[in-house]
Structure 1
Amino acid sequence: MIETNADDSEIAKFSALAHRWWDPESEFRPLHEINPLRLDWIDQHCALSGKTTIDIGCGGGILAESMALRGAHVTGADLSEKALAVAKLHLLESGAKVEYLKIAAETIAEERPAHYDVVTCMEMLEHVPDPASTVRACAELAKPGGAVFFSTINRNFKAYLMAIIGAEYVLNMLPRGTHEYARFIKPAELSRFAREAGLDSVEIIGMHYNPLDKRYSLGRGTDVNYLMRCIKSA
């Protein structure tokens, strides 16, 4: 039996806010604002239409649903019943088709090995006890030659100032306590996790927030938020 790689307190934290997931002015506003950016980046590299895709840690379904609307055949996996209930309810409004499952990444990887063309795991690795285990599960889910996308937060003083002090205490963009600095992951660490899981890291790109115009952009510099694109070795 696979031991679940999850933190009950983290699940409870996001479950308590689940009813606000699709409110673009709520605590999830940053996810709504970055979603077009990350969606276009993923679509640009793997042409989502017609692809079998799974979003690990899908929460209320913001990314999963948007990939489905681009024509992908999407599975969303999460351990929060409340978040998944909200995700399923929103499908009635959007008309999108997504298979939502309450299941751990490691469990579905055992059930569906090498099943997906595209695997996404965004803003989740910093919330699990063993991120390397999640990376391995994502690798196992991908077909040989498939694309795997991660996003997370770097671990350094600048990231602490920007992602915790700035975002949670100064700008109030996120609820206080959303992130724990010790769980942030350096790009070199994530690259090692990926390599050990049989993934080739082909791109690392930073995600930047400009507090003056309140806009996000992708570009050089991975000091705080960053995304990684990997290909599963054939």
Structure 2
Amino acid sequence: MTTHATHSDAATSSNASPAELAKFAAHAHHWWDPQGPLHTLHAINPLRLGWIQKVSQGLHGKTVLDIGCGGGLLSEAMAKAGAASVTGIDLAHKSIKVAQLHAMEAGLNHLHFQTVAAEDMAQQQPASFDVVTCMEMLEHVPDPLSIVKACADLVRPGGWVFLSTINQSPKAFFQAVLAAEYIMGMVPRGTHDYGKFIQPTVLAAMCRQADLDVQEFTGLTYNPLTRRYKLTPSVDVNYFLAARKPGLAA
């Protein structure tokens, strides 16, 4: 789940839904409230970071791009994990301003944020990053393949691309929509559109179309009794994908 802003508060992009941008506009100032409407992202952020570090064999000294960074939760965590530089991009001016302020307060001079579309940045800075992440965003854009291709263009040969989204399955509809939004209130109602969920095989095909080699899948599950998330081999609902760009790392 990635927060964006209304069309008037966002950069122009053909691959941005005004409805999706408007949907999350009200949450821009709640990014760093662990008890607020975006508390789910706070809960899963350590798992996201740990998995990215494990698969990429650490972020130390690497240049990182976080697409759909929102208020900078993952971007900031990766910067603190030893990355040489981290750039977060999003189409929401308000979210970017929140991210910039929080990074400044944390004294993270190697963490930067820009309001720019992934496709535009891919044209401006091709093959510029060792690691590219795009988490909880693909199910919110009109053309996810375009984002995957931008990720592939932005990462260097031998570099890593990390993606996450929600499976288009009956179990995902129940857990991610009915239960999470309407029964348990874990995320605001209307956050997700089941029609935009992406099956793992479909996302893998997108990666292959973008000339990325899929390396690993892992799932993310929630236990309502313990109120804890954990990584799981099952990709029935939320899942992560790691892919690599062919070629030798510089």
TM over 0.5: yes
The code of the aligned residue for 2:43 comes to E
Q: CA deviation at 1:13?
A: 2.1
Q: Is the 8 Å Cα contact of residues 117 and 143 (structure 1) preserved in structure 2?
A: yes
Q: Which residue of 2 aligns with 1:29?
A: 39
CA distance in 1, matches of 2:219, 2:30: 27
Residue 109 of structure 1 pairs with residue 115 of structure 2: no
Q: Which residue of 1 aligns with 2:232?
A: 219
Report matched runs for 1:11-90 at 5 Å: 11-46=21-56, 47-72=58-83, 73-90=85-102
CA distance in 1, matches of 2:128, 2:157: 9
* Structure 1: tracts of 5 or more residues without a match: none
Deviations 1:23-48 (A, max 9, x none): 00011101000000110111112211
Name which of 161, 166, 173 aligns with 1:153.
Answer: 166
The code of the aligned residue for 1:118 comes to V
Name which of 200, 205, 209 aligns with 2:222.
Answer: 209
SS state of the match for residue 177, structure 1? coil
Q: CA deviation at 1:49?
A: 1.3
Q: CA deviation at 1:3?
A: 5.5
| Bigger Cα displacement from structure 2, 41-50 vs 22-31 | 41-50
SS state of the match for residue 98, structure 2? helix
Identity, % of aligned pairs?
Answer: 53
Name which of 167, 174, 180 aligns with 2:193.
Answer: 180
Deviations 1:106-144 (A, max 9, x none): 000010101000000000000000000000000000000
Q: Is the 8 Å Cα contact of residues 4 and 106 (structure 1) preserved in structure 2?
A: no
The code of the aligned residue for 2:194 comes to Y
SS state of the match for residue 136, structure 1? helix
Q: Is the 8 Å Cα contact of residues 158 and 245 (structure 2) preserved in structure 1?
A: yes
CA distance in 1, matches of 2:152, 2:219: 22
Question: So what's the TM-score if we normalise by structure 1?
Answer: 0.97
CA distance in 2, matches of 1:92, 1:233: 36
Distance 1:93 1:3, change over 3 A: closer
CA distance in 1, matches of 2:13, 2:31: 28
Deviations 1:157-198 (A, max 9, x none): 110000000000111000000000000000000000000001
Name which of 112, 119, 128 aligns with 1:99.
Answer: 112
SS state of the match for residue 16, structure 1? helix
- Superposition misfits of 4+ residues, deviation over 4 angstroms: none
Q: Is the 8 Å Cα contact of residues 86 and 112 (structure 2) preserved in structure 1?
A: yes
Q: CA deviation at 1:220?
A: 1.1
For the aligned residue pairs, the C-alpha RMSD in angstroms reads 1.1
Report matched runs for 1:137-148 at 5 Å: 137-148=150-161
* Structure 2: tracts of 5 or more residues without a match: 1-11
Distance 1:3 1:59, change over 3 A: closer
CA distance in 1, matches of 2:116, 2:191: 22
Q: CA deviation at 1:100?
A: 0.4
CA distance in 2, matches of 1:52, 1:94: 19
Q: Which residue of 2 aligns with 1:7?
A: 17
CA distance in 2, matches of 1:196, 1:126: 18
CA distance in 1, matches of 2:177, 2:167: 12
